[in-house]
């Protein structure tokens, strides 16, 4: 099988590339390297079954169509994943997530490819009325431009399934952790603690409850769904059966680093405007296909800290 | 108050314009006249409190920002309302509905306007799991590009409410009927019967169940919500407490015209790919504010037939 991975040099995308190669597939890595990193795909690029296409899904739809030729499956993972700063540049989520997803779907239609796996987000549940939140939770009201743009992507995909006979796999992730993680709260905390081990500034009141999933477990879940779910539209929450408070996460990081910084809270019950103070997904649907996570959230946090300490160029490279 | 109405020369928009003038407001009518009609706003254009801006919301966002100056409220009704042919031009719903709504919101932000009323659709419930369908029905899977584009518009609006302090009124309409109706099944049937009174081709099997609302009742409902609902995001289904089958609707039209055509069904349980065979909304939320419809669906169909027969230029003008 030939698989195109948009955002293939990113955190999640590079793991998908590794997995596809390990499974014997041919892989087209498509990335604009705005947040993707060549270091993450160094090994795949040596592989004869890998092709790299450096292109931007929003700006260069024609290059996506070209790259799509002969593919059997598309993992559409390229996105603006910067949830927190949507309000500072409201156009970005619309362009890089909603319109970019439209470009991917049109490229597929032009190239005769009709199977797509898509990285959506648990944020589409907004301030969820039911927790843990199942896939058919009460129709939520969107609170962030990021989630809005991902939900629009979901709708485009399911409409293409209905209208053009596509088959879609939509994954509503919690936040992921693990190797190549390079964006999010563990990253931010580590960088701050490297700059000043005696003080840690924390968004909100530290009681925000979040769920995390190990990226390796996420890979198993996505491929389990692709192998076992056969509907035209297949929507799955992906997460663990637990959540942690931001304070728990800080404790875990500080214990591992043997630090006891003063914690300085920004205050309020959420990290930023549009943040959801409690994300915890009901994952019975994917569990019923036989998948289960292998790592607890704390284990994932520790392995992420270890990864970032061993790859400290990542902590240094970012501004 | 100064009110901007996008799509102000359209079926619904022109009624909003009339109502705003009757209530003593200043009105800016913005329309690109792609489907809007100068005939619908002939009286308002004579009025000193009316300004006309001929502009396209998707193509000319700067003109929308200019038109927005000094406004207190925006009715965003401009849209591609052509639900049925989305698959023939998939870009149209994205551009004219989703991106156009983004342009309206950005124009509002630039001009310091923060109150918006938006025409969404009962189609966002897809193949609804609960009928009659309340606003917090189970999270639906989108089946049409039209509904997807409207849901994206809803999400943009609620995110602007959360992020920029806007106040939003989102109306999920059933199909509307009444004066100036010029698009939809009654229109199509009448035109076919004028061409051939002895035969009527019907999409689907005629058992599709749909709900309709009289445009005058819709006006009362929207203004009732604007006066009485005070949340940052206010979402209302707008419909009647009944539904009809397409066959009932045909009977009603034929009885009124005194015709007995042969009915020729295309077959299948829906009118087109992505059509929802049963739309029936639970409108308790808007009813609890004191609003109630004054016309039954049958009365609305009859008044629409009478309107179109008296304004037969509309039946002739369209292709």
Residue of B138, B142, B162 with shortest CB distance to A155 = B142
- How many residues comprise chain B? 319
What is the predicted pLDDT for the residue at B45? 97
Measured between beta carbons, which residues in chain A are less than 8 angstroms from residue B235?
141
pLDDT (tens digit per residue) in A75-106: 999 999 877 777 889 999 999 999 999 999 99
Residues of chain B with pLDDT under 70: 318-319
Shortest CA distance to B182 belongs to which of B45, B316, B8?
Answer: B316
CB within 8 Å: B99 and A102 = no
Superfamily of domain B2-176+212-238: NAD(P)-binding Rossmann-like Domain (3.40.50.720)
Residue of B106, B149, B159 with shortest CB distance to A142 = B159
- What's the average model confidence in pLDDT over A282-307? 97
Best residue of A97, A139, A144 to probe chain B, by most B CBs closer than 10 Å: A139
For residue A20, pLDDT beyond 70: yes
Percent of chain A residues past pLDDT 90, beyond the cut: 88
What is the predicted pLDDT for the residue at A276? 78
Q: Cα distance from B313 to chain A (closest Cα, Å)? A: 34
What is the predicted pLDDT for the residue at B100? 98
Q: Cα distance from B156 to chain A (closest Cα, Å)? A: 6
For residue A319, pLDDT beyond 50: no
Q: Cα distance from A268 to chain B (closest Cα, Å)? A: 15
Residue of B143, B152, B164 with shortest CB distance to A162 = B143
CB within 8 Å: A274 and B163 = yes
CA A126 to chain centre: 17
What is the predicted pLDDT for the residue at A153? 98
Residue of A138, A147, A159 with shortest CB distance to B148 = A159
User: In chain B, which residue's Cα lies nearest the Cα of A142?
Assistant: B155
For residue A318, pLDDT beyond 70: no
User: In chain B, which residue's Cα lies nearest the Cα of A170?
Assistant: B141
Tokens 């003080």 correspond to A199
pLDDT (tens digit per residue) in A211-262: 999 999 999 999 999 999 999 999 999 999 999 999 999 999 999 999 999 9
Q: CATH: 3.40.50.11440, 3.90.25.10, 3.30.70.20, 3.40.50.9100. Which one for B178-211+241-317? A: 3.90.25.10
Tokens 């795909």 correspond to A41
Name, in order, each residue with C-beta under 8 angstroms of A57's C-beta and a sequence gap of 6 or more: A6, A30, A32, A64, A78, A96, A100, A103, A104
Percent of chain A residues past pLDDT 70, beyond the cut: 99
ipTM of this complex:
0.95
User: In chain A, which residue's Cα lies nearest the Cα of B165?
Assistant: A273
CATH of domain A2-176+213-238: 3.40.50.720
Enumerate chain B positions whose Cβ falls within 8 A of a Cβ in A: 86-87, 90-91, 94, 98-99, 102, 105-106, 125, 129, 135-145, 147-149, 151-152, 154-156, 158-160, 162-164, 233, 235, 273-274
Q: How many other CB atoms are found less than 10 A from the CB of residue A60?
A: 17
User: In chain B, which residue's Cα lies nearest the Cα of A97?
Assistant: B152
**What is the residue extent of each domain of chain A?**
2-176+213-238, 177-211+241-281+294-317
Cα–Cα dist A129/A115, whole Å: 32
Domain A177-211+241-281+294-317 has CATH 3.90.25.10: yes
Cα dihedral sign, B193-B198-B202-B208: positive
Backbone angles phi, psi at B205, to 5 degrees: -105, 5
pLDDT (tens digit per residue) in A143-202: 999 999 999 999 999 999 999 999 999 999 999 999 999 888 899 999 999 999 999 999
Measured between beta carbons, which residues in chain A are less than 8 angstroms from residue B151?
151-152, 155
Q: Cα distance from A102 to chain B (closest Cα, Å)? A: 8
Q: Cα distance from A190 to chain B (closest Cα, Å)? A: 28
What is the predicted pLDDT for the residue at B98? 98
CB within 8 Å: B145 and A159 = yes
CB within 8 Å: A94 and B91 = no
Residue of A129, A144, A159 with shortest CB distance to B142 = A159
Tokens 């006309």 correspond to B52
What is the predicted pLDDT for the residue at B319? 47
Look at residue A250 and give its three-state secondary structure.
helix
Beta strands in chain B (DSSP E): 2-6, 26-31, 50-54, 73-76, 115-121, 167-173, 175-177, 199-202, 209-210, 212-214, 233-238, 244-245, 262-265
CB within 8 Å: B144 and A163 = yes
Could you check whether A2-176+213-238 and A177-211+241-281+294-317 share the same CATH topology? no
Measured between beta carbons, which residues in chain A are less than 8 angstroms from residue B142?
154-155, 158-159
Tokens 């909603």 correspond to A98
- How many residues comprise chain A? 319
Q: Cα distance from A316 to chain B (closest Cα, Å)? A: 31
The enclosing H or E element of B297 equals helix B297-310
- Note the helical H segments in chain A: 11-22, 42-46, 61-68, 90-93, 100-111, 145-164, 185-195, 215-228, 246-257, 284-287, 297-310, 312-317
pLDDT (tens digit per residue) in B192-217: 999 999 999 999 999 988 899 999 99
Q: Which range among A111-125, A128-142, B198-212 shows the weakest confidence by mean pLDDT?
A: B198-212
Q: Cα distance from A210 to chain B (closest Cα, Å)? A: 20
Q: Cα distance from B122 to chain A (closest Cα, Å)? A: 13
């Amino acid at each position: 099988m030939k698989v195109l991975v948009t955002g293939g040099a990113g955190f999640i995308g590079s793991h998908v590339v590794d997995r596809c190669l390990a499974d014997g597939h041919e892989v087209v890595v498509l990335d604009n390297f705005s947040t993707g990193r060549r270091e993450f795909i160094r090994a795949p690029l040596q592989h004869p079954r890998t092709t790299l296409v450096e292109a931007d899904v929003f700006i260069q739809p024609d290059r996506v169509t070209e790259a799509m030729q002969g593919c059997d499956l598309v993992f559409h993972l390229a996105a603006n994943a910067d949830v927190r700063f949507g309000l500072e540049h409201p156009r970005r989520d619309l362009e890089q997530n909603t319109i970019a997803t439209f470009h991917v779907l049109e490229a597929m239609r032009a190239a005769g490819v009709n199977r797509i796996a898509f990285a959506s987000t648990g944020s589409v549940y907004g301030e969820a009325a039911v927790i843990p939140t199942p896939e058919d939770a009460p129709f939520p009201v969107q609170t962030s431009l990021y989630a809005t743009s991902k939900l629009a992507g979901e709708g485009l995909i399911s409409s293409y399934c209905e209208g053009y006979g596509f088959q879609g796999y939509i994954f509503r992730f919690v936040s992921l952790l693990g190797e190549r993680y390079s964006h999010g709260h563990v990253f931010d905390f580590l960088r701050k603690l490297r700059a000043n081990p005696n003080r840690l500034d924390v968004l909100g009141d530290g009681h925000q409850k979040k769920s995390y999933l190990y990226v390796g477990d996420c890979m198993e879940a996505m491929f389990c769904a692709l192998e076992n779910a056969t509907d035209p539209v297949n929507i799955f929450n992906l997460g663990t059966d637990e959540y942690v408070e931001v304070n728990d996460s800080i404790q875990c990081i500080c214990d591992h680093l043997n630090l006891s910084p003063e914690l300085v809270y920004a205050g309020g019950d959420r990290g930023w405007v549009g943040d959801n103070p409690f994300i915890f997904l009901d994952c019975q649907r994917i569990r019923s296909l036989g998948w289960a996570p292998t790592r607890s959230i704390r284990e994932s946090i520790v392995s992420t800290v270890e990864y970032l300490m061993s790859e400290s160029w990542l902590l240094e490279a970012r501004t």
